[in-house]
Amino acid sequence: MRLENKVALITGASSGIGREAALLFAREGACVIVADVDDKGGQETAEMIQRQKGRTAYVRADVSQAADCERMVALAEEQFGKLNVLFNNAGIMHAQDDDAISTEEKVWDITMNINAKGVFFGCKYGIPALRRAGGGSIVNTASFVAFLGAATPQIAYTASKGAVLALTRELAVVHARENIRLNALCPGPLRTELLMKFLDTEQKRHRRLVHIPIGRFGEAVEIAQAALFLASDESSFVTGTEFLVDGGIAAAYVTPE
């Protein structure tokens, strides 16, 4: 198994990418800490792991709050003795996120607090734990829109994911000699509840779908499989990267310098 004897902490694990990753990591041998603000969904994920004979614990954690992030890391060490993998996956896409003119300050602040500051807090408290374990892997969920912008305006979300890319690159360099790897996982458009709520009309969905060379939305499990690679020792020489899993969007629209 690819994560045998590893302990993994996954934020935003009540649904979507986080849930699929939690289930997959557990099947691959990891003890999994499920972290979320959605108690019902988070506990359901933990119960699903238990039904497949995995080891898990659920912790309520608002990643925009430093104390919650410190507590979730402490729980991983208390419950399972160490932390080897941190998947900073929690994020939001606010329904009122729009262009710079229309987006309210409160929408900007909520989005940045969860999507960007939440990753910072995860790293702030997770990196010392990985040091104590002798190293490990941090996977931060960014997005293809950090490279390209979005066809449907979502300025706060796009900016927050750009921040995740920059943070990941810097920390990867800073901690490389400590056997701590950091990579940004950059999904393309997925058929998840988060995106489908945002793309709430056929016109909006078509505007996004027409840009995907593969011709379909991705599935959360496909991103979880990419996260597994980055979390595992199979990617031991991979750090500081932006791992695009986007159905070919970046290849089609990014012009080489």
Q: Is 125 an active-site residue?
A: no
The secondary structure element, H or E, covering residue 225 is helix 220-231
Tokens 């497949």 correspond to 52
Q: Catalytic one among 58, 125, 157, 253?
A: 157
CA distance linking residue 70 with residue 232, whole number of Å: 24
In degrees and rounded to multiples of 5, residue 209 shows phi and psi of -65, -35
Tokens, residue 182: 């950091």
Helix, strand, or coil here: 104?
coil
C-alpha span between 108 and 99 (Å, rounded): 11
Contact 4, 54 (CB under 8 A): no
Q: What is the DSSP letter of 49?
A: H
Question: CA 67 to CA 211: how far, in whole Å?
Answer: 40
Amino acid making up residue 49: I
Residues 222 and 252: their CA atoms lie apart, in Å, by 20
Three-state DSSP state, 222: helix
- Give Cα separations from 19 to 70, 109, 148, 220, 251 (angstroms): 21, 26, 27, 9, 28
3-state secondary structure of 241: coil
**Active site residue ranges:** 157
